[in-house]
Structure 1
Amino acid sequence: MQFDFNSTEPLYLQVAEQIEEAIFTNSFEEGTQVPSTTEISKQFHINPATVLKGMNILVTHHFLEKRRGLGMFVAAGAYARIREKRQSEFYDDYVVNLVKEAQKLSLSKTAILEMIKRGFENGQTN
């Protein structure tokens, strides 16, 4: 995990994003325990309440679950929920804006699809 202490983004959101990313990339697999609030706060010199606030966001979204006396664990189905959330954000952040800009440029649906195909062909790394 890496935190930008000079960012305008609050640290608790950075904590939530970093743990979410770790779940999405399978660094933290479903059912496994994530580092404790104390571990993260000591390692990165962050207030434990700030770390807990970030973790509680993930609990609210059902990405993490609290197990009394044991700590925080990656919830069953967390990966699928994160993927679904990110797909929705991708649509809202990119597709909607792409269509708006395409309409301003008088690009047809066919022209946009051709550009996307070309982008996949030219940018494919897998």
Structure 2
Amino acid sequence: MTISFDNNKPIFLQMKERIEDQILNDQLKEQEQIPSTTELVNFYKLNHLTIAKGIKLLVDAGVVYKKRGVGMFVAEGAKEKLLQQRKELFVDEYVLPLMQEAKKLGMAEEEIVHLMKQIKGREQT
């Protein structure tokens, strides 16, 4: 099995996001132990420091915490914190540019909503 990474983003950030995704989709639950750095190194075939740097970002953000001698665990409230962060990022990276472009094109709010509903309808079929 080949695990690919995006060449346009540092791998440590992608590792951080993969763990976040596992928390968001309930593969890792609050107070549950995350895979060790060694397990992640062996699975992804990456440098130990790359994995450690991604996990450190999660610790700094309060998403995971360390139990000395035991391992790293998902923090209480981590999923909610990640959902809030991702929603804010979604607005900044997608909604604002969408609204700016729609304004340039003279599109009304109703037209944008109609297009979104059309696209959503296509995905459900």
Same fold flag (TM > 0.5):
yes
- Unmatched tracts of structure 2, length 5 or more: none
Task: Report Cα offsets for 1:4-28 as digits up to 9, x if no partner.
Answer: 2x72422211211111111111111
Match of 2:35, SS state, is: coil
| Aligned-CA RMSD value | 2.0
Which amino acid is the alignment partner of residue 116 of structure 2?
A: I
Structure 1 unmatched ranges of 5 or more: none
What residue number does 1:22 align with? 22
> For 2:116 and 2:11, how far apart are their aligned partners in 1?
36
- Runs of 4+ displaced beyond 4 Å: none
The Cα of 1:121 is off from its aligned counterpart by 3.6
C-alpha deviations, 1:61-83, integer Å up to 9, x for none? 11111111111101111111111
Show the counterpart of 1:94.
94
Query: Which stretch shifts more, 64-73 or 110-119?
Result: 110-119
**Residue range with higher mean Cα deviation, 62-71 or 43-52:** 43-52
> TM-score, with normalisation over the residues of structure 2?
0.87
TM-score, length-scaled by structure 1: 0.86
Per-residue deviation, 1:3:
4.1
